[in-house]
Amino acid sequence: MHKIAPSNENGQTAMNIDFNPDLDLQLIVDVPITPDQLFDGWTNPETLPKWFCPRPWKVVQCSIDPRPGGLFSNVMQSPEGETMPENRGCFLLLEKPNRIVWTGMLSENFRPNPIPQLGFGFVCDLTFTLLADGGSRFHASVRHVTAQDRNKHAQMGFDQGWRIALSQLVELHQ
């Protein structure tokens, strides 16, 4: 169930979607970089490969078209040199510098994707809130179709992996 709030002073629509612990994962971390730097990290194809997966994994290919319906794609490589299949997704909403919503369940121009190799898809809602100290609150809410999908994603190391990757993005700005 979602609740849609009226537009804020920046003309952005605030959407509050209830967190369902049976289906959703979330990560909330205060970081010493700005919402603009977080937004750029997720939408700049030159920046994203430098931080997006925990080292020694790396992103070896990246395509980003930061617009609703735009492509959000990357290819990761293991420490042993094994190249993973392309993770091809789609931006659903971008409100610079405070919010990005994307999914791997759709591809460019909102075309449905086949079931991902991981065996599940999700919708990721990212918010970047400016804090009084000049840093930001990073909030990732990742919604899954089933509890089994949520649990599989958690067991893959969602919390630890996303924390490590986020710390790598912070390192780029320090």
**pLDDT of 44-67, one tens digit each?**
999 999 999 999 999 999 999 999
Report the C-alpha gap between 91 and 140 in whole angstroms: 15
What pLDDT is stored for residue 116 in this prediction?
Answer: 63
CA dist 145 → 105, 122, 124, 140, 155 (Å): 11, 7, 12, 17, 16
Three-state SS for 14?
strand
Mean pLDDT of 157-164: 95
In this predicted model, which residue has the larger pLDDT, 118 or 75?
75
pTM of the model: 0.88
- At residue 136 the predicted structure's pLDDT band, cuts being 50, 70 and 90, is very high
Report the C-alpha gap between 84 and 78 in whole angstroms: 8
68-115 pLDDT, tens digit per residue, is 999 999 999 999 999 998 989 999 999 999 999 999 999 999 999 887
